[in-house]
Chain A
Amino acid sequence: MSTVSYPMADTATMLRRNLRHALRYPGLSLGAVGMPVIMLLLFGLVFGDTFSAGLGGGGSFDYIDFLTPGILLMSIASGTMSPAVAACTDMTEGIVARFRTMAIFRPAVLTGHVIGATILTVISLVLVVGFAILIGFRPNASVGDWLLASGLLVALTVAFTWFAVALGLTSKTPEGASNIVLPISFVLPFLSNTFIPLESMPSGIRWFAEYQPFTAVIDTLRHLLLGTPMDSGNGWLALVWCVAIALVGYFWAQKNYNKGTAA
């Protein structure tokens, strides 16, 4: 009896399943996709002038330019919530038990969640860039810089989504899964240089913000898109963070998915 595996075909089937879910509840998907745009408008237009003044901004300091790369990361962070909850919901229902008794490519179920979520997040990123340009974001990046920046954003999305799915699978209930990813979707964006520069933070928080992955990535994005000076090594550090988080997330998620079943 042949047991050839079909990694691509099975993953595509699972991706189709997840995209159907997203289309069936367009409200939910639109909410997740649109939330970062609202954050951008809120911080850019409503708080922007005050923040900018408080940060000693004058003619040379444009807060929208400063803010946009951070909001892009916020999109990635908030986009991790729904795949984490969806993966956990799957496990609590009979459908995954069915998949696990079938000869399908094992990582396909979770990979389908990750790719589906990545597609939604990319849509969200495009929207954020569009709206940012509308309200005054003026990057001076070359095509190469844009490509590098896009690559970095997608890499970070894939990495954080795998990690969030792994976290979500440690929870027994979907409600628990949404709580357990809160540190990623909420704490990391705020305790970073998303909204204000590191220099303006209290020392304890500043220490945390300096060494967490978001800061290195945001720093690199600002450098690529706006040509701001960058702490040496932050580009490589950003890449290392992405690869490390992706690997840990992937293997941890697969381990959680296969727990207790015949290998």
Chain B
Amino acid sequence: MNSSTPAIDVQGLYKSYGDKLVLDGIDLNVAEGTVFSLLGPNGAGKTTVVQILSTLITADAGEIRVAGHDLHRNPEAVRAAIGVTGQFSAVDGLLTGEENLIMMADLYHLGRREGRRRAAELLEQFDLVEPGKKMAMTYSGGMKRRLDLAMTLVGSPRIIFLDEPTTGLDPRSRHSMWQLIRQLVAGGVTVLLTTQYLEEADQLADQIAVLDHGRLVAQGSPEQLKRLAPGGHVRLRFNAPEEFALAAQALQATAQDDDALVLQVPNDGSVHSLRALLARIDDASLEVDELTVHTPDLDDVFFAVTGQPIANDTTDEKVTSK
């Protein structure tokens, strides 16, 4: 593989289950050594893309090259180049963390001594030395994810697929997972990750593609996407109608709800601009009942690129799956 060959190249990817079209003509191009994020709500088709690119299921149509190999003609060569950490834990619960890693080393034919060395190194790197002696079924969610990723790395794959690597993790585990992913990329690995969170894609990705109902509705760098979704604002709620009317004039509100007495004022949420806004509220002597800061998220990107919010059913799913 030379540097001009993309790590992942997909043209016209289609997949349906029965009469339900899941992927409706996807094109992707991921440059070597970069992080590419597929962003979308549940049911958008993110997992299906990962499953197809990692040879787990077959596509109905599409040209796919991974690590320079035609996935349809030579899936074994693709498998030899990739590592996958799926959405559901792929560790053997009845083996200890260390045994899981050694099993992977055996499957990569690293040899007995090198396999043990690599397992010890990964236990160290992923902060699992102590739990490494216990059965994986006793691990917490965050520990299982770390072991899962460590197992994926045993064979030092050049291309890694991460399907919602932080869904269900607490904030601390999420940040340590981000840190691990950044280390990988620093080592020259190509990463394709899926996520429901704009913040996560923003933190990690060089390129983001927004997936909705099996179609790519937007693609670009995090900056480009955030420019598409200027959704940062402050919500102000008032008690009295006269205060509300006064504020609407004084604060250049972009949206107002006359019944709920709520105003939306554009604001990027930084301390500096919040202080400026509060100063204006003081100057006008306004009585504000409640103030909330809203930073752009997936919903804003969706609203910006599709013109409609995430469909209700998928939003519900998203909430219940957390």
Binding partners A and B: yes
Which A residues lie at the B interface, using CB under 8 A? Answer: 1-3, 5-6, 9-10, 13, 16-17, 20-21, 24-25, 93-95, 97-104, 260-263
Q: Return 6 A-B CB contacts under 8 Å, by A number.
A: A1-B81, A21-B94, A98-B86, A98-B151, A101-B54, A263-B75
A-B contacts besides A1-B77, A102-B155, A262-B58, 18 pairs, CB < 8 Å: A3-B79, A3-B80, A6-B109, A13-B106, A13-B107, A16-B103, A17-B95, A93-B88, A94-B88, A100-B55, A100-B56, A101-B84, A103-B77, A104-B107, A260-B57, A262-B56, A262-B57, A262-B71
Q: B106–A261 contact, CB under 8 A?
A: no
- Which of A2, A24, A102 is most buried by chain B, counting CB atoms within 10 A of its CB? A102
Q: Which residues of A contact B273 (CB under 8 A)?
A: none
Q: Report A229 CB to chain B, min CB distance, Å.
A: 49
Of B56, B78, B151, which is within 8 A of A97 by CB? B56
B251 on interface, CB distance cutoff 8 Å: no
User: Are A3 and B92 also in contact (CB < 8 A) when A101-B54, A104-B107, A261-B58 are?
Assistant: no
Q: B109–A98 contact, CB under 8 A?
A: no
B28 on interface, CB distance cutoff 8 Å: no
Q: Which 6 A-B pairs have the closest CB atoms?
A: A94-B90, A262-B75, A98-B90, A103-B79, A103-B80, A13-B106
Q: Which residues of B contact A99 (CB under 8 A)?
A: 107
**What is the CA–CA distance of A217 and B90 in the complex, to the nearest angstrom?**
41
Of B69, B76, B95, which is within 8 A of A20 by CB? B95
Q: Which residues of A contact B109 (CB under 8 A)?
A: 6, 9
B91 on interface, CB distance cutoff 8 Å: yes
CB-nearest residue of chain A to B99: A20
Q: Report B162 CB to chain A, min CB distance, Å.
A: 13
Q: A24–B80 contact, CB under 8 A?
A: no
B33-86 with Cβ < 8 A to chain A: 54-58, 67, 69, 71-72, 74-82, 84, 86
Q: Which residues of B contact A98 (CB under 8 A)?
A: 84, 86, 90, 151-152
Interface size of B in residues (CB-CB distance below 8 Å): 39
Q: B77–A3 contact, CB under 8 A?
A: yes
Q: B57–A261 contact, CB under 8 A?
A: yes
**What is the CA–CA distance of A102 and B75 in the complex, to the nearest angstrom?**
10
Q: B86–A9 contact, CB under 8 A?
A: no
CB-nearest residue of chain A to B93: A93
Q: Which residues of A contact B143 (CB under 8 A)?
A: none
Which B residues lie at the A interface, using CB under 8 A? Answer: 54-58, 67, 69, 71-72, 74-82, 84, 86, 88-95, 99, 103, 106-109, 135, 148, 151-152, 155
Q: Which residues of A contact B148 (CB under 8 A)?
A: 94
Q: B57–A94 contact, CB under 8 A?
A: no
Q: Which residues of B contact A101 (CB under 8 A)?
A: 54-56, 79, 82, 84
CB-nearest residue of chain B to A22: B94
Q: A9–B79 contact, CB under 8 A?
A: no
CB-nearest residue of chain B to A106: B76
Q: A95–B56 contact, CB under 8 A?
A: no
Q: Which residues of B contact A1 (CB under 8 A)?
A: 67, 69, 77, 80-81
Q: Report A59 CB to chain B, min CB distance, Å.
A: 53
**What is the CA–CA distance of A104 and B103 in the complex, to the nearest angstrom?**
12
Q: A261–B55 contact, CB under 8 A?
A: yes
Q: Which residues of A contact B82 (CB under 8 A)?
A: 101
Q: Report B24 CB to chain A, min CB distance, Å.
A: 20
CB-nearest residue of chain A to B92: A95
Q: Which residues of A contact B90 (CB under 8 A)?
A: 93-95, 97-98
Q: Report A75 CB to chain B, min CB distance, Å.
A: 24
Q: Report B59 CB to chain A, min CB distance, Å.
A: 9
Q: B58–A94 contact, CB under 8 A?
A: no
User: Are A261 and B94 also in contact (CB < 8 A) when A1-B77, A3-B77 are?
Assistant: no
**What is the CA–CA distance of A94 and B151 in the complex, to the nearest angstrom?**
13
CB-nearest residue of chain B to A4: B109
Q: Which residues of B contact A102 (CB under 8 A)?
A: 79, 107-108, 155
Q: Which residues of A contact B55 (CB under 8 A)?
A: 100-101, 261-262
Q: Report B1 CB to chain A, min CB distance, Å.
A: 8
**What is the CA–CA distance of A10 and B79 in the complex, to the nearest angstrom?**
15
Q: Which residues of B contact A103 (CB under 8 A)?
A: 76-77, 79-80
User: Are A97 and B75 also in contact (CB < 8 A) when A13-B103, A17-B92, A262-B55 are?
Assistant: no
Q: A9–B94 contact, CB under 8 A?
A: no
Of A3, A93, A260, which is within 8 A of B58 by CB? A260
CB-nearest residue of chain B to A3: B76
Q: Report B112 CB to chain A, min CB distance, Å.
A: 11
**What is the CA–CA distance of A242 and B88 in the complex, to the nearest angstrom?**
39
